[in-house]
Amino acid sequence: MLWGLLVVLLIGAAGLPVYVYPVAADKPHRSDVIMVLGGRQDGRERYAISLAEKGLAPTVLISNPYGTDDAYANSICDGTYSVRVVCFAPSPTTTRGEARYLRAQAAIHHWRSAMVVTFTPHVARAEYIVGRCFTGDLRVIDYSPHLSPYYWGYMYLYQTAGFVRAFAQDGC
């Protein structure tokens, strides 16, 4: 029992700099594009658009892996903004699919810098995966919504499994 508790505490402590306080998180800055990774539908989409409307990027890419019947995504994608907002369905519907879409759009539009907005537990993994596809100046921005202790535990497991999968995959 004591060993089990010790293992849980060690795993929790090891995950702090990766999931809770990711060193990869950057501050918003001027970029050619801002891309929002799909996820919890927690406000990060509007946050990214607000950054662009403050002059940090002329274009916002919003991942919509939820399908055309998703009311939240539709409310964002059908909005009117002072910047260009492009909603896309990643293929596959994973961070890797989102990274591939950014790579393709960057080649078309000659983008050399990108901000990627995701939430705290996903920052380090997003930087790893997107960085394999996008070779320009990449900054991953931490959108920090409130997460329950239960959800943090789930994220430790989910993000760790995601890292294992990402490490096992080659290339972009």
Closest CA to 79 of 101, 102, 98, 60: 60
* Domain parsing of the chain, residue ranges: 25-168
pLDDT tens by residue, 137-159: 999 998 877 778 887 788 887 88
Rounded to 10°, the helix 149-168/123-133 angle is 20
pLDDT band per the 50, 70, 90 thresholds, residue 136: very high
Closest CA to 124 of 37, 4, 59, 11: 37
Q: Are the C-beta atoms of residues 3 and 82 closer than 8 Å to each other?
A: no
Topology (CATH level 3) of domain 25-168: Rossmann fold (3.40.50)
pTM of the model: 0.86
